[in-house]
Amino acid sequence: MSGEVGEVKATARDVARWLENWHQEIDSAVQYRAMATGEKNEQIADVYRRLAAFEDKHADFWEARLRAAGRNPGPRRPSVRARVLAWIARRFGAGTILSTIAAGEYAQRNDYLAHPETRGTGMTEDERMHARVLARVLARTHGLEGGALARLEGRHRNVGGNALRAAVLGANDGLCSNLSLVMGVAGASADHRVVLLTGLAGLLAGALSMALGEWVSVTSARELAEREIRIERSEIEENPGEEREELQLIYESKGLARQEASDLATSLMKDENAALDALAREELGIDPDQLGGSPWTAALASLFLFAFGAIIPVVPFMVMAGPRVPLVSIAAGGVGLFAIGAAISLLTGRSMLWSGARQLLLGFAAAGTTYLIGRAIGVAVGG
């Protein structure tokens, strides 16, 4: 892939497209370097650094096209989204954004097919390779198969698998539900204390319900995983030959030659614990060392994340009094909704302004609806 390009004629649309690609490659390089900094496993950190180097070369390619068209792109500055994700990776570890980055690479792996300038450069193959590499890192660190990338847009049941998603959606649940509850009661009653007590009750009930649900979910997943491992152990003891063949087929499907796969499977079956570990990971997709994570950690995380969002519309009723408190509460909720919407853009890649405004509109629609219903009920019962 050459960075040298002779003078070219380009339309405004071409320049805009090249600039977009250039910015995306800059963002990817910054994110991968941050992931390398936040990664404790040096082998995986080196993988991230090498991926960053690929993205730098791709940025060089688009920069050369822009300069050849007489357009100086200026210094390489990552977007706000990329800077935020990079900060999270450096501060909390690469795993906090791995699923988000992997899903993006998977979704964009064929994008360069639509760009005639990349033909014969190998850039499409590079992007596909990035998606495959991250799929393997996910499989190694989270017990996911590569095909699971297509399902990474699920809800926040797996706190450990994508902490960023869990934090954003957990706080969003708390804020939206309690803001609507507070506004509904404020519409039905002018009593400051009634609204405050309702908001606190909603916070506690919602947070405890989320925590209990998360604890039950993770505990059930652990129990199911433990049962599957017990069954696998008994199969190793009763039918070691069949289990060895299963291991061999698994390794052949991963690309090993038949004899290599056979030798590896035979070697693993000599140690029951090693065989069980390999079969649990490769056949069941279970990490015996993790088993889905700690239910208590998941429960506490859900409790605090929900409470963090739910407390926002309640604080004005705790520190103020008078007829203007509901307005201050809805204003505080609006700020929180916009901030959460902007945070969601870190997961989706959409504009922070657009995501924040959408979240604000939807949250206000829910709160306004409950306020009007509460108002109607309050009038009907003479409140």
If DSSP codes are grouped into helix, strand and coil, which group holds residue 381? coil
Q: Are the beta carbons of 139 and 145 closer than 8 angstroms?
A: yes
Q: Which has more pLDDT, 1 or 185?
A: 185
Nearest to 312 by CA among 218, 134, 177, 143: 177
- In the predicted structure, residue 33 carries a pLDDT above the cut 50: yes
Tell whether 256 and 356 lie within a shared domain: no
Tell whether 57 and 205 lie within a shared domain: no
Residue 29 lies in a domain: yes
* Dihedral sign computed on CA atoms, order 322, 324, 328, 329: positive
Confidence of residue 227 (pLDDT cuts 50, 70, 90): confident
Q: Which two tokens stand for residue 118?
A: 């990349």
Residue 49's φ and ψ, nearest 5 degrees, are: -65, -40
Tell whether 177 and 46 lie within a shared domain: no
pLDDT value, residue 144: 38
Amino acid at the residue 335: V
Residue 338 lies in a domain: yes
pLDDT value, residue 165: 67
Residue 6 lies in a domain: no
Q: Which two tokens stand for residue 109?
A: 């792996």
Q: Are the beta carbons of 312 and 237 closer than 8 angstroms?
A: no
- In the predicted structure, residue 217 carries a pLDDT above the cut 70: yes
Q: Which of 282, 315, 331 is the last residue of a domain?
A: 282
pLDDT value, residue 6: 52
Mean pLDDT of 249-271: 78
The C-alpha atoms of residue 68 and residue 70 are separated, in whole angstroms, by 5
Return the percentage of the chain with pLDDT > 90, whole number: 24
Confidence of residue 139 (pLDDT cuts 50, 70, 90): low
Of 60-74, 217-231, 285-299, the range with the highest mean pLDDT is 60-74
Tell whether 216 and 71 lie within a shared domain: no
Mean pLDDT of 221-245: 79
Tell whether 234 and 135 lie within a shared domain: no
Model pLDDT for residues 158-176, shown as the tens digit of each residue: 333 455 666 777 888 899 9
pTM over 0.85: no
Residue-wise over 294-306: b if at least 16 C-beta within 10 A, else e?
A: bbeebbebbbbbb
Q: Which has more pLDDT, 275 or 61?
A: 61
Residue 349 lies in a domain: yes
- In the predicted structure, residue 143 carries a pLDDT above the cut 90: no
pLDDT value, residue 255: 67
Nearest to 295 by CA among 355, 219, 367, 353: 219
Residue 331 lies in a domain: yes
Report CA-CA distances (Å) from 334 to 164, 184, 304, 331: 21, 16, 20, 5
Residue 155's φ and ψ, nearest 5 degrees, are: -70, 180
The C-alpha atoms of residue 179 and residue 174 are separated, in whole angstroms, by 8
Tell whether 188 and 217 lie within a shared domain: yes
Tell whether 105 and 233 lie within a shared domain: no
Tell whether 197 and 242 lie within a shared domain: no
Mean pLDDT of 92-110: 85
SS3 content of the chain, % helix, strand, coil (to 5): 80, 0, 20
Minimum mean pLDDT range among 39-53, 268-282, 312-326: 268-282
Model pLDDT for residues 204-213, shown as the tens digit of each residue: 999 998 889 8
Full residue range of the structural domain in which residue 34 is found: 12-151
What is the total residue count of the chain? Answer: 383
Tell whether 105 and 26 lie within a shared domain: yes
Confidence of residue 113 (pLDDT cuts 50, 70, 90): confident
pLDDT value, residue 28: 93
Return the percentage of the chain with pLDDT > 70, whole number: 84
Q: Which of 255, 282, 309 is the last residue of a domain?
A: 282
pLDDT value, residue 24: 92
Tell whether 210 and 316 lie within a shared domain: yes
Q: Which of 117, 151, 185 is the last residue of a domain?
A: 151
Q: Which two tokens stand for residue 238?
A: 């009763």
**Which positions ≥6 away from 243 have C-beta within 8 Å?**
235, 236, 269, 275, 279
Residue 1 lies in a domain: no
Q: How many CB atoms lie within 10 A of CB 47?
A: 19
Tell whether 310 and 277 lie within a shared domain: no
The C-alpha atoms of residue 235 and residue 262 are separated, in whole angstroms, by 19
How many structural domains are present in the chain? 3
Q: Assign residue 86 the CATH number of its domain.
A: 1.20.1260
pLDDT value, residue 222: 81
Tell whether 179 and 118 lie within a shared domain: no
pLDDT value, residue 147: 36
Q: Which two tokens stand for residue 364?
A: 């206000």
